[in-house]
A and B are shown apart, each in its own frame.
Chain A
Amino acid sequence: MKNLTVAASPHIRSGNSTTRIMLDVIIALCPALIAAGIIFGLRAVALTAVCIVSCVLFEYLIRLVMKRENTIGDLSAVVTGMLLAFNLPVTFPFWMAVIGSFVAIVVVKQLFGGIGQNFANPALTARIVLFLSFSSQMTYWVEPFYYQNGTAAADAITTATPLAMLGQSGQLPDLLEMFLGLKGGCIGEVSGLAILVGGLYLIIRRVITPTIPLVYIGTVFLFAVIFDAQPVYQILSGGLMLGAFFMATDYSTSPVTELGKIIFAFGCGLITILIRMFGSYPEGVSFSILFMNILTPYIDKATMLKPLGAKYEKKRSA
């Protein structure tokens, strides 16, 4: 008898793994990808593919350069690529998207230590960098189903997003159309239905808890009611649904405890509605989440759990 394995307990582990979690997120993002393909045509799918491939490639290369273990197998770069693409308009040039991937993976994620170590959401920060660098391309919205008329993206009729319309008191689109995603906007954020399906999948699979999406969307709704600013439209507009279910719930950049999550999501909701109501930008989801990302370590520190039966020594006077 030989080779008996001796290790510390526990001797069994759950079947869960980082790769499995990321795969679940990818599956949860697929309804939104399909919706994007239907609403904005094949170029939306191609743009997503460009982001995924460039993100994975950058992840592979930077780990090689840094002489670190290869981590593309955990699929987190695929998730980042999908989320980045979902935050771009369908007409966005591919080469600019590749720059976005570089910012997300190399600058925001790997230079801070890789998965679990980044202080800000990579895809979201890349979106903001692209937004500030290529403002006109980032706000070039085309009508849904433009591709059916045979027009190239560059010649498509532009349209305003519902959020811009809200600001201008123009004719608002039908609520059902808003929910299905028949409106101008970034490719992955338009269909509330598709995001909801994906979000529910994540909750059922216990990848995320419903705390952050519920509190985030609830806060926006509540303040929209207070400000009398079309609450239902506020929820279905812009990147709120995508942000609440997929970006604000990012493990690395959101608090660990449930109380922390509530504070975090409330902050996200409050800043979103303040930017939408009073800011110079029509959309505030990315800025609000980024801002709360930066506060996350402090929220974590302030909401540390008190273990069952813990006793703390009273601080001695100095």
Chain B
Amino acid sequence: MAIIKSKKRLPGIHPAYHKHTMDMETAMLPVPATVSIPMLQHIGVEAVPVVKPGERVLVGQKIGDSDAPMCVPVHASVSGTVKQIGNMLTSGGKNVKTVVIEADGQQELFSAPAPVRADSREAFLQAVRESGLVGLGGAGFPTHVKLAHKDTAKVDTLIVNGAECEPYITSDYRECIEHPSDIADGIKLVMHHLGLTRCIIGIEKNKPDAIALLSKQTDQMGGVSVMPLKSLYPQGAEKVLIYCATGKILEEGQLPADCGTVVLNVSTVAELARYFRTGMPLVSRRLTIDGDAAGRPGNVMVPVGTPVRTVLEFCNTDLERCRELLMGGPMMGIAVADPDTPVVKNNNAILAFSRPQVSYSKTTACIRCGKCVRVCPVGLMPAGLERAYDNRNLPMLRKMKVNLCINCGCCSYVCPAKRDLAAKNQLAKQIIREKH
């Protein structure tokens, strides 16, 4: 099976790609002096530290875990001494327990590299949990939870998300170029253990090299095909990707498994394969460093917990020049206030700008142009939702299905009156949650 065509499409926008770092090979960040590893780097429950200040830890050693089902263990990304355990504001906006480790630069491994075995589905899921994997595309949903769907007979398709539709970011693309065999191995593992018969790798058409390489890599694998997707933001959004790849509509309140699919990011799949080959859990992430203030844009492999400052300094960035720092892409990324914010598992980029990319400060009246309605991939009416939110009209917000907003930001992007439509949707979801 080689390349198959996508028959479906949803609305979206065409922001400038700015994929300057596509051809830049991943560089290794030298071991940072200290790392601050938050106990919550995913959607779910915070882990509890299992180490004490003063204790020596090694690379890959578990430093946080808990029995909660929605918890993912956290591992040390450097070898060194636990300096302190305190609270820290993470890029996720939460104040969470953080283990600060002073690195000794030895990068001593906790256990010698050895393949991980799993004989059953349960053992496989347990191993995935132990790997510390979360969705690396951005949302950070615990991978072992995602794979543990109940209705095993219904789920038959693995969708691998290589769309990478956000401007600037090329870290998933570099994964495809540098480690295509890891991606293929990861696909094999997931398909085998979950009994899936079909796999679709979705990649935007603006990455022809990745499409060619992965279709060659997976040529001999039964049921696996590559699907070039239209270069259109937000092509990589889970709901959009499922629809474009399979034609199935994820209904309100459903998870991908409910329409027979499992969706994993390319980097997640590759990371999974590496864990099963070496036993080394997720302790580092490839980040795209870009933006006009970044001195030397590129892709860098960074230990989890490294301060943003250290990564930017490695890329010859003058922090005094930075006026806006984004973790993630410009459409859905988070603007951080503190350059000492640590890199977490689901980060994929750090963008440094010498001036805020949104330069105006005021919004004007809605002129009812309808552009927000035409670009919304899930068919919402953002201008109407904004009005309902401003009036705190909860029944109307529910009726207009604000809960289906995927926060892609297309509405805010196109709005000629520069209204913060996407942000209002997030606030509206929040008040609806509170009223429940």
Q: Are B356 and A305 in contact (CB under 8 A)?
A: no
Q: Which residues of B contact A308 (CB under 8 A)?
A: 10, 239, 243, 249, 377-379, 404
Binding site for B on A (CB under 8 A): 1, 3-14, 16-18, 20-21, 71, 74, 76, 114-117, 251-252, 256-257, 304-311
Q: 15 more A-B contacts (CB under 8 A) besides A18-B365, A310-B404?
A: A4-B323, A8-B422, A9-B335, A11-B357, A12-B331, A13-B358, A14-B15, A18-B364, A18-B367, A116-B368, A307-B379, A307-B400, A309-B249, A309-B254, A310-B379
> In the docked arrangement, what's the CA distance between A121 and B390, Å?
26
> In the docked arrangement, what's the CA distance between A305 and B326, Å?
34
Q: Which residues of A contact B322 (CB under 8 A)?
A: 1, 4
Interface flags for B315-326 (1: CB within 8 Å of A; 0: not) read 000011011111
How many chain B residues touch A (Cβ–Cβ < 8 Å)? 64
Q: Are A309 and B412 in contact (CB under 8 A)?
A: no
Q: Choose, from B50-58, B171-179, B298-306, B413-421, the stretch at the interface.
A: B413-421
Binding site for A on B (CB under 8 A): 10, 13, 15, 167, 239, 243, 249-254, 319-320, 322-326, 330-339, 356-358, 364-371, 373, 377-381, 383-384, 400-401, 404, 407, 409, 412-418, 420, 422-423, 426
Which one of A1, A252, A311 lies within 8 Å of B252 (CB-CB)? A311
Q: Which residues of B contact A10 (CB under 8 A)?
A: 330-332, 409, 412-413, 422
Q: Which residues of A contact B335 (CB under 8 A)?
A: 4-7, 9, 11
Q: Are B249 and A13 in contact (CB under 8 A)?
A: no
> In the docked arrangement, what's the CA distance between A304 and B13, Å?
22
Interface core residue of A5, A20, A251 (most chain B CB under 10 Å)? A5
Q: Which residues of B contact A12 (CB under 8 A)?
A: 15, 167, 330-331, 357-358, 413
Q: Which residues of B contact A304 (CB under 8 A)?
A: 381, 384, 400
Given contacts A257-B373, A309-B250, is CB(A17)–CB(B416) below 8 Å?
Answer: yes
> In the docked arrangement, what's the CA distance between A245 and B312, Å?
52
Which one of B253, B379, B380, B409 lies within 8 Å of A9 (CB-CB)? B409
Q: Which residues of B contact A18 (CB under 8 A)?
A: 364-365, 367, 416-417
Give the residue name and chain of the A residue nearest to B252 (CB): A311
Q: Would you give 7 A-B contacts (Cβ < 8 Å), ordered by A?
A: A1-B320, A4-B324, A9-B330, A116-B368, A251-B368, A304-B381, A307-B380
Q: Are A1 and B339 in contact (CB under 8 A)?
A: yes
Q: Are B378 and A256 in contact (CB under 8 A)?
A: no
The distance from the CB of B315 to the nearest CB of chain A, in whole angstroms, is 15
The distance from the CB of A89 to the nearest CB of chain B, in whole angstroms, is 30
Q: Are B358 and A311 in contact (CB under 8 A)?
A: no
The distance from the CB of A314 to the nearest CB of chain B, in whole angstroms, is 14
Q: Which residues of B contact A7 (CB under 8 A)?
A: 335, 356, 358
Q: Which residues of B contact A306 (CB under 8 A)?
A: 379
Q: Which residues of A contact B377 (CB under 8 A)?
A: 308
Given contacts A8-B423, A10-B413, is CB(A307)–CB(B404) below 8 Å?
Answer: yes
Q: Are B381 and A116 in contact (CB under 8 A)?
A: no
The distance from the CB of A229 to the nearest CB of chain B, in whole angstroms, is 34
The distance from the CB of B293 to the nearest CB of chain A, in whole angstroms, is 11
> In the docked arrangement, what's the CA distance between A11 and B10, Å?
22
> In the docked arrangement, what's the CA distance between A307 and B397, Å?
13
The distance from the CB of A52 to the nearest CB of chain B, in whole angstroms, is 19
> In the docked arrangement, what's the CA distance between A28 and B325, Å?
41
Q: Which residues of B contact A76 (CB under 8 A)?
A: 367
Give the residue name and chain of the A residue nearest to B355 (CB): A5
Q: Are A13 and B401 in contact (CB under 8 A)?
A: no
Interface core residue of A11, A17, A18, A308 (most chain B CB under 10 Å)? A11
Which one of A4, A8, A9, A256 lies within 8 Å of B383 (CB-CB)? A256
> In the docked arrangement, what's the CA distance between A308 and B369, Å?
21
> In the docked arrangement, what's the CA distance between A20 and B381, Å?
23
Q: Which residues of B contact A21 (CB under 8 A)?
A: 367, 369, 416
> In the docked arrangement, what's the CA distance between A6 and B91, Å?
11
Given contacts A304-B400, A305-B379, A311-B253, is CB(A4)–CB(B331) below 8 Å?
Answer: no
Q: Are B333 and A4 in contact (CB under 8 A)?
A: no
Q: Are A4 and B373 in contact (CB under 8 A)?
A: no
> In the docked arrangement, what's the CA distance between A267 and B337, Å?
54
Q: Which residues of A contact B331 (CB under 8 A)?
A: 9-12
The distance from the CB of B413 to the nearest CB of chain A, in whole angstroms, is 5
Which one of B364, B378, B400, B409 lies within 8 Å of A309 (CB-CB)? B378
Given contacts A251-B367, A310-B404, is CB(A3)–CB(B323) below 8 Å?
Answer: yes
Q: Which residues of A contact B254 (CB under 8 A)?
A: 309
Q: Are A256 and B368 in contact (CB under 8 A)?
A: yes
Given contacts A10-B412, A16-B416, A308-B249, is CB(A5)–CB(B368) below 8 Å?
Answer: no
Give the residue name and chain of the A residue nearest to B420 (CB): A8
Interface core residue of B333, B412, B426 (most chain A CB under 10 Å)? B412
> In the docked arrangement, what's the CA distance between A99 and B298, Å?
63
> In the docked arrangement, what's the CA distance between A252 and B368, Å?
6
Q: Are B319 and A115 in contact (CB under 8 A)?
A: no
Q: Which residues of A contact B243 (CB under 8 A)?
A: 308
Q: Are A1 and B368 in contact (CB under 8 A)?
A: no
> In the docked arrangement, what's the CA distance between A310 and B249, Å?
10
Q: Are B358 and A305 in contact (CB under 8 A)?
A: no
Given contacts A1-B319, A13-B413, A251-B367, is CB(A307)–CB(B339) below 8 Å?
Answer: no
Q: Are A117 and B401 in contact (CB under 8 A)?
A: no
The distance from the CB of A31 to the nearest CB of chain B, in whole angstroms, is 23
The distance from the CB of B174 to the nearest CB of chain A, in whole angstroms, is 22
